[in-house]
Structure 1
Amino acid sequence: MTKLMTKMPIKTMVHNLIKLSKKGQGATLIGIGPMSSRVLKASFELARDKDFPLLFIASRNQVDADELGGGYVNGWNQRTFIKAIRDIAEKTNFDGLYYVCRDHGGPWQRDKERNDHLPEKEAMELGEKSYLEDIKAGFDLLMLDPTKDPFVIGKVIPLDRALQLTVDLYQYCEDKRKELRLPPVGYEVGTEETNGGLTTPETYVEFLDELENELKKRHLPLPTFMVGQTGTLTRYTEQVGKFDFKNAHSLAQLANKYDIGLKEHNGDYMNDFQLLQHIPAQIAATNVAPQFGTEETRAYLILADVEKELKKQGVIQGPVSNTKAVLQEHAIDCQRWRKWMEGDQRNISVEAVKSDPELSAKILDNAGHYTFNDAEVKQEINKMLANLSCAHIDGDRFIVDRIKRSINQFVEAYNLTGVTSRIKNYQD
């Protein structure tokens, strides 16, 4: 059995990273959305070979308690998610640092809760139940995000109300953790919305000051990360935002005064020009999720085309899979793509999508990963991989390596190679 190093608390790890950044030896961490077990495998293999810490950021839609609806990623709840992570770490001989993080925890963070317009009391209770399972399972970081209130006109609740709900969630989680006599966890607060929230240094420092005051009154710890808007925005499979170095650097400096790291969300599909600015901006971490699911979807589609070609050439003898058609049908039917659409397209009917080949392909590219756990999708993928194996093609290896190439773009730009050793060896 692989012996994992003694876990450095995430707060300590980020503290050391902030100090290293001030010496010009820092890096920007990457929060990886656990879109599938193959994404986990790719992450562990790359982090093992390049010596950097892993942050796995699971939303409530992806991973949650069975009684709350479970998650669309492998049907994982908190305990089975952590078991899968540990198993893959062992299989890949990973002996570095990894952290299991709750991304966008709290009320209304499951699509159904928001769509059902649950009252605040009920939504808060469900969010707390989810956090309790996170804490029991051993999550290292909890994002406290009460900003998805469906009753608020527009997208962002007032900062004073967001602050109060955040502190209430903080108190609940800390009380439960202490009751269970579990080690400290890290916390992430803030919102990345572009039309309000923590978009300017003025609102950012106001929130930080008020948060510090409230936490001190309740004898609660300061957060590990605070989210701020750096200009990023993901739509379809594109980065449509404009990275704002000046604003990002200002927010990072303000957060660092409190020994808190600036966390950027919506970091998918950025180019090297944008990525290379993150270290001088002193951004502590970037969240990336749908990009890696899209890379896996694209790998399946390439393999499906290869399978058909080898059938045509007589290399594959039996019937081929129907991977592309089944994956496309399930991707459209799941309707989770609506959150990534713009304007009136968010309300387009499923029938209209299916009658539009170009839009159908676009949605498959964007939303295929939501369906990897669907029984029919898994059946077709497994059939395809078996056919390719008979033709001496290791499809699983191709998929994992394709995901690794995508993650590695961030590793290179973010100076992540060797950062675990630098963090471990750092002395105040």
Structure 2
Amino acid sequence: MNDNQIELGFGPMSSESIEAVYRYSNYNRRRLMLIASKNQIDHSGGYVNNWTTDQYAAYISKMKELYPQAEVLVCRDHCGPGFNGNDDLSDVYKTIDADIKNNFDLIHIDFCHIKGDKDHQLSESKKVIEYCKKLNPKIKLEVGTDENLGINYSINNLDEIEKEVDYFTEFCQPDFFVVQTGTLIKEVNQVGNFNQEFITDASKILQNRNIKLKEHNADYLSEDEINKRIGIVGAMNIAPQLGVVQTMTVLNKCLIYGIDFTDYANEVYNGKKWSKWLNTNTPENKFLCIAIAGHYHFASSTYQRLIEQLNKQEDIVETIINNLTEIINHYAKTRE
């Protein structure tokens, strides 16, 4: 990778998004990351195809065979208690066991939801990192224990970042450190505000320790906004945008071919996964709710019936992959 390339992590929102990542990497010789959350894929299953980690890894193996020139890091995003509604630490260790057994390349340790103070948060993070390194000494690590709330941090927080980074580097060498850059996703928009001065200073702290600054919630950025990050942000994650584009692709094609998607729409709306994404709109805007939460229901029979009907009109999977590839290319194309 050249110095102008920001490393990119994309959420495995669906089989199509995973294939889009592998296909892009294969044909563009660009290293990419897949960043699976515990909600999406886990040892006991997740909303992406109802896959366990083992089943996800089996699909990844197929992608590697299909796209042998691809370089894709298989990563665990937000590995910590509370991210899937389960606060039990034993569940976190089960996730790690399954991930490392299935040859994941990187694990993001995030204990921001653990009950207790900051010292407890850090000490438990240390224990789980040491456990990861014991199972696989070569496992790559991402750390950062704060939720991204889209807050513009001040110079006072630089001391906190430096202190936390130095704590971790005493016993491991993280590849990435998550810093809140000010980004925040709501509905189908980037509503945050990139705090460039603060992030530049934070990046210098990390670069001096050979660690890349990782930005989460980097969806819906314009080309100009991406350009601002070159040389400052070392990596960024994009996920909900892929889910929204796939949902809208399917619904638009249904509108074109006169296919009724009422059952799927009702399932998505009644599932209420859209509630955390709303900003200025209300639940009465049902179509927006369906657009922002449709990906949580791609494994449903109502969605699969739509895909079956659309496949009679065109290769809908190929259409979806092509549209998702446009997002990847928007972020991945080299900027001088």
What TM-score does the superposition give when structure 1 sets the normalisation length?
0.73
1:403 is matched with which residue? Answer: 324
Structure 1 residue 344: Cα displacement? 10
Q: 1:208 to 1:299 in 2, by over 3 A?
A: same
Aligned equivalents of 1:247, 1:203: Cα separation in 2:
9
Taking the TM superposition and a 5 Å limit, the aligned residue runs for 1:121-136 are 123-136=88-101
Report the structure, 1 or 2, having the larger helix content.
1
Aligned equivalents of 2:90, 2:78: Cα separation in 1:
15
SS in 2 for 1:99: strand
More deviation, 246-255/360-369: 246-255
Taking the TM superposition and a 5 Å limit, the aligned residue runs for 1:227-242 are 227-242=178-193
Structure 1 residue 376: Cα displacement? 2.5
Aligned match for 1:268, one of 210, 219, 228: 219
SS in 2 for 1:76: coil
1:168 is matched with which residue? Answer: 127
CA distances 1:59-82 after superposition (whole Å, capped 9, x unpaired): 00000012xxx1100111212112
SS in 2 for 1:187: strand
1:329 is matched with which residue? Answer: 266
Q: Does 1:37 align with 2:11?
A: no
Count of residue correspondences: 335
Q: Once superposed, what is the RMSD of the aligned Cα atoms?
A: 2.3
Identity rate of aligned residues, in percent?
A: 27
Conservation of the 8 A alpha-carbon contact between 1:268 and 1:288: yes
Aligned equivalents of 2:244, 2:334: Cα separation in 1:
20
User: Residue type matched to 1:160 in 2?
Assistant: D
Q: Does 1:55 align with 2:6?
A: no
SS in 1 for 2:73: strand
Aligned equivalents of 2:32, 2:214: Cα separation in 1:
15
User: Residue type matched to 1:336 in 2?
Assistant: K
1:72 is matched with which residue? Answer: 47
User: Residue type matched to 2:277 in 1?
Assistant: W
Q: 1:148 to 1:395 in 2, by over 3 A?
A: same
1:297 is matched with which residue? Answer: 247
Conservation of the 8 A alpha-carbon contact between 2:22 and 2:70: no
More deviation, 326-335/132-141: 326-335
Aligned match for 1:412, one of 315, 333, 336: 333
For structure 1, the 5+ residue unaligned runs are 1-16, 152-156, 309-320, 346-352, 416-428
1:374 is matched with which residue? Answer: 300
Structure 1 residue 85: Cα displacement? 1.6
CA distances 1:244-265 after superposition (whole Å, capped 9, x unpaired): 2222221111111111110000
User: Residue type matched to 1:44 in 2?
Assistant: Y
Structure 1 residue 268: Cα displacement? 0.6
Q: Does 1:194 align with 2:149?
A: yes
1:141 is matched with which residue? Answer: 106
For structure 2, the 5+ residue unaligned runs are none
Aligned equivalents of 2:267, 2:76: Cα separation in 1:
27
Q: 1:269 to 1:338 in 2, by over 3 A?
A: same
1:108 is matched with which residue? Answer: 82
Conservation of the 8 A alpha-carbon contact between 2:105 and 2:139: yes
Q: 1:364 to 1:195 in 2, by over 3 A?
A: closer
Aligned equivalents of 2:335, 2:149: Cα separation in 1:
24
Aligned equivalents of 1:138, 1:214: Cα separation in 2:
23
SS in 2 for 1:108: coil
SS in 1 for 2:142: strand
Q: 1:133 to 1:208 in 2, by over 3 A?
A: farther
SS in 2 for 1:378: helix
Conservation of the 8 A alpha-carbon contact between 1:236 and 1:340: yes
Conservation of the 8 A alpha-carbon contact between 1:226 and 1:262: yes
Aligned equivalents of 1:59, 1:174: Cα separation in 2:
20
CA distances 1:190-249 after superposition (whole Å, capped 9, x unpaired): 1343377x9455434434445534653xxx322111000111000111100011222222
Conservation of the 8 A alpha-carbon contact between 1:235 and 1:342: yes
Conservation of the 8 A alpha-carbon contact between 1:106 and 1:131: no
Q: 1:125 to 1:50 in 2, by over 3 A?
A: same
Structure 1 residue 330: Cα displacement? 1.9
Conservation of the 8 A alpha-carbon contact between 2:246 and 2:324: yes
Aligned equivalents of 1:303, 1:41: Cα separation in 2:
20
Aligned equivalents of 1:363, 1:210: Cα separation in 2:
38
1:6 is matched with which residue? Answer: none
Conservation of the 8 A alpha-carbon contact between 2:184 and 2:190: yes
Structure 1 residue 146: Cα displacement? 0.9
Structure 1 residue 297: Cα displacement? 0.6
Structure 1 residue 367: Cα displacement? 0.5
SS in 2 for 1:254: helix
